[in-house]
Amino acid sequence: MSFFSKLVGGGGGNSGSQSSSSRGPPSAADQAFARYAAAAEGARGGVGGGATGSAGQGAGFSPIEDHSLAIAHLRKLFADVKANASRMGPGEQASRLYVMLPVFCKVYSSLPSSEMSASFPDVGQFCSHASKLMVTEIKKRASNQSTVNASAAIVDFLEADALDESKSGGWMLLTTLNLLATGGKNLIEAMTACSLPSTLVKCLYLFFDLPPLPEATACSQQQQLTPCEQRALLQRTFTQLLVRLCSHTEPAEELVQKNDLSLLFGAVCSPCANHNVIWRKAAADVLTTLSRYGLTYTVRQYIHKEACIKQCVNGIMKAAGSPLDTVEMLVTICCFLKDASETNQNLLDDFWHANGYQRITQIILNLEEMDVQDWETATDNLICLAASLATCGCVQLKPSDTVANSICQIPNFTVPQPAGKGLSIRNIRAFHVLEEVFTKARTSKLCTSVLTAIFNIYKQDHANFFILDSQRTLSHLIERLYVREPSVQRQCLEILEFVVFQLRYVPMNELSSITKLIKTCNSARCKIIALQSLLKIAKCHEVLKDAYREVGLLDLLVACLHAYAHQLKESSELLVQHQPTASRACTNMLAEQRELGALVMQLLAFLLTTSVKNASVFRDAGGARCAHNMVPHDECRTDILGVVQQLVLSTASEDDMGCLLGLMHTAPPTAIRLKTEVLATISAVLQASHRCRSAFRRCSGFVYVISLLVSLEGSLKEQPGPPWDTADSSAVVLLLKTIFVTLTVAMKFEPANARFFKYEIRYDSLTEAVRLLGCFGPHADALPVPTASAAAGAEAGASSGSSSQPPTPDPSSSTPGSLRFDRVFQSAPVDEALVADYCSDLPQRLRCASFMLKCLFELGVESLEFGIDGGRGGVGSESDNAVMVASPEHSRHRKHLHNLTNQSPPPPAIVHPGAVLSFLQLIPAVYREAESSSVTVYRPLEKIHQQIRSNLSRMG
């Protein structure tokens, strides 16, 4: 039986009473027993001697009649013994009994033990005679002999001899007693009265001094059994008899009375030669059986007073054999303690006073350092043993009262109640073994095994974590993670995640330990793993944001942000100085440091979301200033803008808004990407918060945006001059789009902002800023006048409230240039792809002009919304509406109209007429090819005409 099988089964107490079929593949002893039975049967020639067997078989009796005759013969033989007991000497009486033994074994080896008393009424007296005979024979051979000679004589008496039945009397006597031990309590009491249990235990102790067997040789056909097989057969039967005896209370108390129970404990933990290890295993089976069935009050008191547990621990400490043998000794004692602690705590206390838990720890650590085969299996078994001992005891521990009074709790949290025996923690001393082993372990394999055991304890009963809360086990493990491998660090933090997500508990002590770990650890990888876990935990519930602030984690993250900013500054300075090592230094720093810095910023952004208190702490710790200073760095801009965005949304501070706007103003003209990303962040903030839109107006946000537009003067020329000659035209277009998105979002749903822009900023300034981009001519030509029929149709439509469409020009009458222009304006995407590759056959200035006109038009109808990555399609197109318009009402309206067949969606209403007027003022300045005509600008005018008529229709 393996160590782990003992542990799970609570000991190997029943191993001796199991049949060979339940033990799996037959052992050497099983095979030897079968071979011996066949040989002995052939040698004896039948039951009770050759004559009886021959007579029974020759008469042709059936098996039932054969058994009846054998039982009748057995009764007659024992009746003669009883009748002549007074006239027979001990020798003659023993001879008569030896004659009866083969008959008894033949009959009752194939019959149920329940029929023993019914078929043989004198079986009790027979049992007493057989037990006395065994005790007498053993004492006779052990008297006045050394332990070596006595053990050899006893074994020689008990071993089987298939060739000479006259030399197998002891074996027959042992087999008979083994069968009688299954006959019930009365027979066990009869054996106990004859001191058989204590005698056998003395023999077991003597067997540790047996001399080695002769060298193994192949057995002859007549011999049947080798010496090793004979010894294994004896050990199996002897152990089985003792196990059956100790399955009752009477033999255990008899061992106490004879003061022989201590011998059994001594045998379990005594060193012995390798050829006698089988007897120590036999003692272990007997002891574990006694722990399950024979631990009466008297037995417990004896073990406690005689310090048997201390005796075992001392024996284990002095053992000089194989480490695996030491492990086996320890497993046996701990299995005994596991059973013994169900009703009394004294023996567990004895184990603690004897430094037993320290011994377990020492053995595990010693095995880790030794190059021993199967050491991993042995350490795993000892770790499971310690975890099992942690649930042993008769006193149920309760969760600490302080758990329910934590300052941060997830709503509806309740402290779970202990599940009970075998699952809940009852022995904290044993649990400390796991913690100490983890602290002193040197290999990741051992650490992983310990963490797995601890995790299983927490999972098998959710109350265990709270029972152990005062021990701060998980906190101590986390504080030592900096010396462990990344795999161990992740496994430990998975336990913390289990506490938060499954137990729904906010572990303040453990969060403090992680804060301490990040603060003191020098390993970037360890910090990364810790921050990844913290970011995952923070998403469990909003209350975790407050918990992180209370344990000082928010302040620590700000400190990490300052450190990362300092590293970025040093790298930038190296690059500016053009030092040869600059590139290599940046690469080394940005490998793990970038990942660490990104995690810090992501966690900060999450903690600032909807948390005014966290934003205040962040600002007081200098985080706001540091974050704004980090925005110019390309390496971290995306993440740090996320932090700034949440900071602005949490407080709607004009200072933070002003810093962002000022950053665009002070940036170099060619820092197009910086300005685009900052402006995109401002757009997101404006779209999300009314307070932020008001703050944008108060801190002159419109002035900054128009100034940014003015700073792009000449950037859209056919051949732009410095600094735009080296700039990416697609990036310029994206920045222009972002400017108009920002203006649209700032004024949408904010009438005060719209009025401010109309009267303070004025659309004339916007028109002039767009004109100066370089894609429009310096002078505006006269607008082409629509035909009289078109004008009359417009007036008629306006007066009647009709929304009929204006006349569409005949494409066949349009010039190629006007068709291309019409196609660009109607379908060009509003992003950098317009300038890069769309309608590349058109002149660059014409494409850019159409792009700016489209931006102005969409500003007028508020169809440009947050979505900086860009919509696709022209004004009023399905794809443009799907991406650019974010209003839920508009989306539902569009979906409803889409389902109507043969109907086109109505044009959007004009919201900002000033933008439309700017549109009209710039149309005459559009660059036109020589062949173009008034139809070139007809499509934009048609759109405006359509919007005016629609608005007049609504007003009418």
Which amino acid is located at 208 in the chain?
F
For residue 564, the tally of other CB atoms under 10 A from its CB is 24
Q: What is the pLDDT of residue 166?
A: 62
- What is the C-alpha R_g of the chain? 48
**Cβ burial, residue 572 (10 Å; 0-12/13-18/19+):** middle
> Which amino acid belongs to residue 472?
R
Reading the block at residue 322, the tokens are 């194989």
For 88, 370, 489, 800, 874, the CA distances from 451, given in Å and listed in that order, are 71, 22, 10, 82, 61
Q: 94-100: which pairs have CB atoms within 8 A and are 24 or more residues apart?
A: 94/133, 94/136, 97/129, 97/130, 97/133, 98/169, 98/172, 98/173, 99/48, 99/49, 100/74, 100/126
**pLDDT surpasses 50 at 835:** no
Q: What is the pLDDT of residues 120-132, one digit of tens each?
A: 888 999 999 999 9
**Is 641 in a helix, a strand, or coil?**
helix
Residue 776 three-state SS:
strand
Q: Give the residue from 667, 657, 671, 669 showing the smallest Cα distance to 702.
A: 657
- Residue extents of the structural domains in the chain: 65-212+224-259, 552-578+585-647
Beta-ladder partners of 776: 926
Percentage above 70 pLDDT, the chain: 75
Whether the Cβ atoms of residue 597 and residue 636 lie closer than 8 Å to each other? yes
Distance CA 154, CA 74 (A): 27
How many helices (H) and strands (E) would you count in the chain? 49, 0
- Closest to 850 (Cα-Cα) out of 744, 730, 937, 732: 937
| Residue 886 confidence (pLDDT) | 34
Residue 742: how many other CB atoms lie within 10 Å: 26
- Asked if pLDDT for residue 649 goes beyond 80, the answer is yes
- State how far the alpha carbon of 777 is from the alpha carbons of 513, 532, 916, 923, in Å: 67, 56, 19, 10
CA distances from 925 to 65, 154, 729, 776, 816 (A): 128, 123, 21, 5, 20
pLDDT at residue number 950: 62
The pTM of the full predicted model, rounded to 2 decimals, is 0.79
Say which DSSP state 469 is in: G
pLDDT in tens, 792-822: 443 344 334 333 344 444 444 444 445 455 5
Q: CA 308 to CA 287: how far, in whole Å?
A: 12
pLDDT digits (tens, 9 = 90+) for 576-620: 665 555 555 555 556 788 999 999 999 999 999 999 999 999 999
651 or 586, higher pLDDT: 651
Inform me whether the pLDDT recorded for 641 exceeds 80. yes
Of the given ranges (76-90, 453-467, 678-692, 888-902), which has the lowest mean pLDDT? 888-902
For residue range 708-739, what is the model confidence (pLDDT) as tens digits?
999 999 999 888 888 898 888 889 999 999 99
Query: Residue 347: which of 387, 283, 297, 388 has the closest Cα?
Result: 297
User: d(Cα 842, Cα 851) in Å, to the nearest integer?
Assistant: 13
> Residue 923 has what DSSP assignment?
G
What integer is the mean pLDDT of 761-772? 94
N-term to C-term CA, the chain: 97
Contacts of 324 (CB under 8 A, 6+ apart): 372, 374, 378
Of 234-243, 392-401, 897-906, least confident by mean pLDDT is: 897-906
Query: What confidence tier does 881 reach under pLDDT thresholds 50, 70, 90?
Result: very low
pLDDT for position 938: 45
pLDDT of residue 531 exceeding 80, the answer is yes
Kindly state the tokens that stand for 175: 């087999």
Tell me whether residue 739 is exposed, middle or buried, using C-beta atoms within 10 angstroms of its C-beta: 0 to 12, 13 to 18, 19 or more: buried
What's residue 548's pLDDT?
96
pLDDT (0 to 100) of residue 920 = 87
Q: Tens digit of pLDDT for each residue in 2-45?
A: 333 333 333 333 433 333 333 344 444 455 445 444 444 443 33
SS3 content of the chain, % helix, strand, coil (to 5): 70, 0, 30
Give the long-range contacts of residues 24-32, CB within 8 A, separation 24 or more: 27/232, 27/236, 28/228, 28/229, 28/232, 29/229, 29/232, 29/233, 29/235, 29/236, 30/236, 31/229, 32/225, 32/229, 32/230, 32/232, 32/233
Helix (H, G, I), strand (E, B) or coil at 806: coil
Please report the DSSP string for 878-917 in residue order.
HHHHHHH---HHHHHHHHHHHHSTT-PPPPPPPS-HHHHH
φ and ψ of 748, to 5 deg: -70, 135
The average confidence (pLDDT) of the chain is: 80
φ/ψ of 926, rounded to 5, equals -70, 135
Nearest to 838 by CA among 734, 126, 830: 830
| Average pLDDT value for residue range 438-464 | 95
pLDDT band at 555 (very low <50, low <70, confident <90, very high): very high
Over residues 459-483, mean pLDDT = 94
- Is 955 within 8 Å of 805 (Cβ atoms)? no
Rounded Cα gap, residues 527 and 518, in angstroms: 6
